[in-house]
Each structure stands twice: as structure tokens, then as C-alpha cells.
Amino acid sequence: MKTDIILAGVGGQGILSIASVIGIAALKNTLQVKQSETHGMSQRGGAVLSHMRISDKPIYSDLIPKGEADLILSVEPMESLRYLPFLAKEGYIVTNTAPFLNIPNYPQLDEVLKKLNTLERTVLFNADELAANIGSKLASNMVILGAATPFLNHINYESIQNGIVELFSKKGDDIININLMALQIGMEIANKVLD
Amino acid sequence: MQKVLLGVEAIAQGAIDGGISGVYAYPGTPSTEITEYIQNNKYAIEKKIHCKWSANEKTAMEAALGMSYAGKKALTCMKHVGLNVAADSFMNAAITGVNGGMVVAVADDPSMHSSQNEQDSRYYGKFAQIPTLEPSDQQEAYDMAYYGFQISEKFGVPVLLRITTRLAHSRSVVELNEKLAENNVSLPKNPRQFVLLPNFARIQYQKLIANQKNFIEASNNSKYNRYVDGENKSIGIVACGIAFNYLMENYPDGCPYPIAKISQYPISRKYVKRLSEETDKIVVLEEGYPIIEELLKGILEKENVSGRLDGTLPRIGELTPDSVAKALNLPTKYGWDIPEIIENRLPALCVGCGHHDVYKAMNIAIATYGDGRVFSDIGCYALGALEPYNSINTCVDMGASITMAKGAADAGLIPALSVIGDSTFTHSGITGLLDAVIENTPITIIISDNESTSMTGGQESSAKGKIEDICLALGVEIEHLHVINPVKKNHEELVSMIKKELAYNGVSVIIPRRICVQKNRRDVKLRKVNISNTKKK
């Protein structure tokens, strides 16, 4: 059993934190993990991408082959579409619908959302707004992670919760709790859509 | 004990556990985190393992060689183009050989994610005629750093450890070995080993040549190289480094073709010969230049070899599991096309970055002279080549802004303007400035100083607090040396300053100085943590 996830976003949006939490949880479940990420020049407000692979068997390639990603998990709507060649035919897209506007030629948001809506298997929602509602816009990435939890096959929800506790352990209970709340909101939304 | 590590972190941990006494490096993607990991490692801090940044890769390599001379184990690391800077030292370290073990870790960047070329450092290993290691995964990256020092000490030469971006920045579980002790200080047994006067150098070079057969023997017996037999002899596959993983990704239940897995060079003759004898044709999978492919094919093409040269694999860029699948005529999958509305999101200068103010002023100041006279350099400010500024005309290698501006001015392009960062200036700009000062060449040099090595993540810059003194000491006239804070209210002043110096028929240096916004944010955070820690005590 393997799960291949494309994590997408813009430099600084916190996709590496998402990867860290899933990674911690996968290892606690004694699964194999490989996770490649973008460093360097692209981090200056550029598109960032992480290939996250989880399996109960040895994983060879650090990169997910095209057409094999079970999930595109994105904190930005346009970025979720950039990696469509990687998505498996039966794969899902879970993405934030709030755009990250740092380029002058960002396409019309309506067009981006329209394109997303033409795809069958999607979970789309405004994670920034939901995170702001609980008092921390920064937790938007954890709302997205929450929405991914139904797709993580051999990693259960509790393991992800523990991953958050571990990752943010040095930052105090307030930060941990807000991120756990964000996770829960995301999970509930995804389950609603999937029903 | 197990740890989840990036490929670069695995090298760092392997070197720490292998008993290094120091790491010497200049930051460069994708190699930076090797040194940063050691700087932040508790054990390394306790042991006082040297880990301060060097001014450039050449000073780093030489310091590592000095530590090796004194009998201790030293790691030096850099990106591929950094090895060009250190090449003089590197090539000659192969001749002197080592006393304490020395590993040169070099991270190549095929596909040029953060670099100006995709040169393959395995050529340097071959050029210097020393053993070269190329891990296929994070575990091998760890093991090779650990054992690299032992190989180095066994053969008395530096060892090149080459990785590429993909492995450098991908993490996985790594099994750690027991920690080895550092060496004590001990002088080389032969007092002339490191004295490369021609007479002595010839003797040392003879030793290196005589050692070649031992290196090949070591490759034949290396645990990182192996022959995996397969039933289908129509193809034999040479899989170098990370390419082995892309191959196995396509055959998770076993590859039907025989494979020579290569991770230690010079390439094992034993396995290649066997492949040639037992299979109809050879396919070479290698991350980087077609080095092995060219070697096997030769000019006479007596062997049926394919790979990057004949289009079986793309000639440029990094390998992927898909490109390897196509090379072996395996079916590949595909999701959906990227919709046309998707725009590129190129890296850009941060909001609030001082380079914005510099380019805004510079564009106005230089407008009357016409286009094509701004020579820039390697760093965040190279993004000034893009919209909205389109300010710079060159970005070639570390320090080339000053020297190219000089050459262009010598050719008659007067005035010529140079834009360089603080860290790049101390890396390789100082000697170029000296050239210009000696001839009083009419160039204006803007050292856009953000007090940080920013593109690689905000490391301490060797230039900090020293630039004016350096310029004056080199002979820049004090009336033509200016420091200014590049903020909005100083815009007019900066414009007129640049204009005035462009009109001066000699060397001028303008230093717009404002700390990098990212560096500042991190420093503030760090100070807060320090204050709260002090309070706790």
C-alpha cells in the first residue's frame, strides 16, 4: 500500500510544515517515507513543490512518476493546477481557494476555480478564511492538512494530531491548540464533501 | 539509531559520526545545509568542531587541506560551480595527498534549479584522478561520508563525494553508525609531501599514478558497486548514483535485465566487462553529463551503447522515473495537461528589500547613457534582470561584475556599472576591484549591502562591517566611496550620487546598506528567544 502526494504552494506558505507533520506520523506508524522539497532560489516567492511518498514497502524514487499521485494537496489554487500531469486518473485535488497574489499576471480567479470545478475529484474551500475565523491566518496550512487526512490511507487522524503536537512542541500550548483546531475544521469539511 | 535526514544532512551526520574536526564551506544551493546541520548539531557544538563559513570555496578547500596536513579529518563542501573556484586547491590536493582524511562534498544542480550551469563534478574526480563516491540514496550519502574518511586515509588522497539536487533535498530514514573519535594532531611522515616544488611534485604525482590501480581495485570490491544479474540479456544497464532508484522504481519486483550499479569511481572494469560480454547492448543511466556513456562508447563506437548522447534519454536536465521508463520502452502514465491559464511564478525580490530601491535609483541615473552597461553578479539582486526593473545585463560567476565592467570599460564602454552583493564582494570581488584601482578604470561599483548571504538563506556575510575598510585599503579614493541607506526618502540622493560617480573618470564605490528583510526577521526572532532564555535562567 502506498500513498503519493504532491504538495504545492508558494514559498513561505508552510507546505514544508505540512510535509513534516505527515512525515512524523508516517514514521510513528513504521512506514517508509521519502520527501523531496524545493530549496534555494525558488523560495523567494516562487512556486514550491514537495513530492511526498509513503509506503509499507521500500520506496525507490524520490520523485513521484507522472500520473501516479494519489493526491495533490495545495495551499494555493493556481499552484494545484500546475502539477496536474502528476495526478493519477483516480486521484484527488485538495486545495485552498484563496489565491496568493505576488505576480502581476495572475489569471482571473474565476477561471482558475472554473478549471478546478471541471475536475471530478476535488475538495475546494477557502482555508485562509476558516483559519482567520479561529484567530490565526497562519494556521491555514493545517486546515488544508486536515482536509487531506481522509486520503492518508494507513495513517489515522490521531497520528496526524500527534504529529502536530510534536512539530509545534517548542511553540507552546496555544499554538498547538490552534493548529489542532485548524486540522479538525479541515477534516470535517473534507468529510462533508466526500459524503 | 535512526534519523530522518535530507541527503545533505545525511552527509553532515556521516561526517560528524566519522570523526571530523572541522567543516569548511561557502554557502551554495544545494550544498548549504551540510554545513548548517553541523553548525546546529549539539554533539558538534560540544566537540567544538570547526564550522564557521569561509570567505569562498577556495579558502575553504585550503583550510580543509591544512587541517588534514595537521593530521585531523576535515570536510569541505560546496556547490558544483564552487568547485571551479576551489579547483586550483582541489587539483593540487590530489597531488599532495592527505594526512588526516579529507572529503570534498560537492552538490551538482542538474536542471539548474538554482544555478547558472549543470556541470558534472564527476569530471573533476576523473580530472584529479581520485576516488569519487556518488550515493544513490540518503543511507548511502550517510555511509559514504562516514567511510569516505577511511578511504581517504587508506589511500592517502582526498575523496570526492558527489550528490545532485534531488538527493540533496529529499529526506528519508537513515540508520546511524557509532561515532568515531577525532584524530590527534600529527605531522605528515614525509616532510616534503606538501611541498609541491617541481622536483617533489613529480614524486607525488608518480605516487598518485601508481595508486590508480588501487582505486580501480577498490571500485571492483566496493560495497556501493554491485552486479545484479537478470534473465533478459538483450540489454545491460549501467545505473549510476540516483539513477539506480529511478530504474528500480520502474521494476519494483526486480529488473529483468542485468544491472551494473555504480556508486564508486573510477568505474569498476569488472562489472562493465561482464555487462558487455553477456548482453546485446548497454544503456547508461547517469544523472548529469554522459561521462560513462561516452567512455564506453568511445570514438570508434565498437560497443552498442545508448543513453543521453543518442537521445534514448534527454541530453540535458535531471533524470526522472518517467524519462528512465521511456528509455527502456516501458509504458508511462500521465494525469492532465497543465491548463493554459497557469502563469509562471518566478522568484522575485522580497517586499521591502533594499535591492528594489537600488534598482529604482540606478535605472534613472543611468538612463541618459543608454542600455547595456550594467554588469551584475550572483545573488538575490540578479533578480533585477527580470520585470519590472530589467536593470542588469550580465550575471556570470561570483565576482564577474567588477572584472567584466572593467574589461568593457577598457573596450570603450564608458561608464560601465557593476552591481555586486556584500558577500559576493568578499568572495571574489576584492581582487577585481584591485585591478580596477591599479588602472583607475572608469567604473562605478555598487555594492548592494544587505549584511547577509541571502539567496542561500541568510548566512553571516564575511563582509559585515569591513567593506569600507577593504575598499580604502585597496586604494579607492575616499571622495569616491559612499555609504547610503537605500530607503524611499533617500531616493533622490541615491540617484544624484550614482549620476555624479558615473560622470567621474575613475573608480567609484557606492554602498547602499540596509539589512536583508528576511535576515532581519530571523535575527529579531533569535533575539526574542535569547531574551526569554536569559529570563528563564
B229 reaches A (C-beta below 8 A): no
3-class secondary structure, B252: coil
For an interface test with A, which of B9, B40, B80, B170 has the most A Cβ atoms less than 10 Å from its Cβ? B170
Which of B170, B246, B338 has the CB atom closest to A84's CB atom? B338
Query: Which positions in chain B touch A77 (Cβ < 8 Å)?
Result: none
Task: Say yes or no: do domains B2-220 and B354-520 share a fold.
Answer: yes
Report the distance separating Cα B396 and Cα B394, nearest Å.
6
Report the distance separating Cα B53 and Cα B114, nearest Å.
20
pLDDT digits (tens, 9 = 90+) for A17-55: 999 999 999 999 999 999 998 776 656 678 889 999 999
* Closest to B31 in 3D by CA, of B70, B86, B94: B86
CA distance readout (Å), B125 to B97, B106, B165, B209 = 14, 10, 18, 14
Which of B170, B248, B456 has the CB atom closest to A35's CB atom? B170
B114 reaches A (C-beta below 8 A): yes
Average confidence score pLDDT of chain B: 96
Closest chain B residue to the Cα of A30, Cα to Cα: B173
Which residue is associated with the grid cell 585591478?
B435
In this predicted structure, what is the pLDDT of residue A11?
83
Instruction: Write down the ipTM of this complex.
Output: 0.93
Looking only at Cα atoms, what is the longest distance across chain A? Answer: 45
A43 reaches B (C-beta below 8 A): yes
B385 reaches A (C-beta below 8 A): no
pLDDT above 80 for B53: yes
How far off is chain A from B509, nearest CA to CA, in Å? Answer: 27
Q: What is the mean pLDDT of residues B324-339?
A: 97
Touching B: A residues 136-195, CB under 8 Å: none
B249 reaches A (C-beta below 8 A): yes
* Closest to B172 in 3D by CA, of B143, B137, B144: B137
Query: Which positions in chain A touch B322 (Cβ < 8 Å)?
Result: 65-66
In this predicted structure, what is the pLDDT of residue A40?
61
Which helix (H) or strand (E) segment holds residue B511: the answer is strand B508-512
Strand B226-228 vs strand B259-262: parallel, antiparallel, or unpaired?
antiparallel
pLDDT digits (tens, 9 = 90+) for B159-182: 999 999 999 999 999 999 999 999
* φ, ψ at B511 (rounded to 5°): -115, 90
Q: What is the mean pLDDT of residues B25-44?
A: 97
* Closest to A95 in 3D by CA, of A176, A13, A156, A158: A13
DSSP structural state of residue B425: I
Domain boundaries, chain B: 2-220, 226-327, 354-520
Which of B113, B248, B335 has the CB atom closest to A88's CB atom? B335
Low-confidence ranges of chain A (pLDDT < 70): 40-44
A107 reaches B (C-beta below 8 A): yes
Closest chain B residue to the Cα of A89, Cα to Cα: B335
In this predicted structure, what is the pLDDT of residue B536?
58
Report the distance separating Cα B22 and Cα B152, nearest Å.
16
How far off is chain B from A153, nearest CA to CA, in Å? Answer: 20
pLDDT above 80 for B147: yes
Residues ≥6 apart with Cβ < 8 Å to B404: B375, B394, B396, B418
In this predicted structure, what is the pLDDT of residue A43?
61
pLDDT digits (tens, 9 = 90+) for B500-525: 999 999 999 999 999 999 999 888 88
Touching A: B residues 42-101, CB under 8 Å: none
SS (H, E, C) B468-508: HHHHHHHCCCHHHEEEECCCHHHHHHHHHHHHHHHHCCCCE
**Exposure string over B202-239, b if 16+ CB within 10 A, otherwise e:** eebeeebeebeeebbebbeebebbebbebeebebbbbb
Domain boundaries, chain A: 2-194
Q: How many CB atoms lie within 10 A of CB B354?
A: 23
A134 reaches B (C-beta below 8 A): no
Query: Which positions in chain B touch A102 (Cβ < 8 Å)?
Result: 345, 348
Query: Which positions in chain A touch B387 (Cβ < 8 Å)?
Result: 104
* Closest to B34 in 3D by CA, of B100, B106, B89: B106
Across the interface, do A39 and B249 touch by the CB < 8 Å criterion?
no
Record: fold of B226-327: Rossmann fold (3.40.50)
Which amino acid is it at B77? C
In this predicted structure, what is the pLDDT of residue A45?
73
* Residues forming a β-bridge with A56: none
Query: Which positions in chain A touch B248 (Cβ < 8 Å)?
Result: 60-61
pLDDT digits (tens, 9 = 90+) for B342-383: 999 888 898 999 999 999 999 999 999 999 999 999 999 999
Q: How is domain B2-220 classified at the architecture level of CATH?
A: 3-Layer(aba) Sandwich (3.40)
Looking at domain B354-520, does it have CATH number 3.40.50.970? yes
DSSP structural state of residue B461: P
Across the interface, do B343 and A91 touch by the CB < 8 Å criterion?
no
Q: What is the mean pLDDT of residues B320-343?
A: 97
Helices (H), chain A: 15-28, 77-82, 109-118, 127-133, 140-148, 157-167, 173-194
Which of B249, B341, B350 has the CB atom closest to A115's CB atom? B341
Query: Which positions in chain B touch A112 (Cβ < 8 Å)?
Result: 341
pLDDT above 70 for B123: yes
In this predicted structure, what is the pLDDT of residue A127?
97
Right CATH number for A2-194 from 3.30.70.20, 1.25.40.10, 3.40.920.10, 3.40.50.2300?
3.40.920.10
In this predicted structure, what is the pLDDT of residue A42?
57
In this predicted structure, what is the pLDDT of residue B531?
75
Query: Which positions in chain B touch A11 (Cβ < 8 Å)?
Result: 347
In this predicted structure, what is the pLDDT of residue B525?
80
Question: pLDDT band at B398, cuts 50/70/90?
Answer: very high
Touching B: A residues 67-86, CB under 8 Å: 67-69, 78-79, 81-86
For an interface test with A, which of B171, B323, B338, B456 has the most A Cβ atoms less than 10 Å from its Cβ? B171
Q: What is the mean pLDDT of residues B62-69?
A: 98
In this predicted structure, what is the pLDDT of residue B535?
65
Query: Which positions in chain A touch B169 (Cβ < 8 Å)?
Result: 36-39
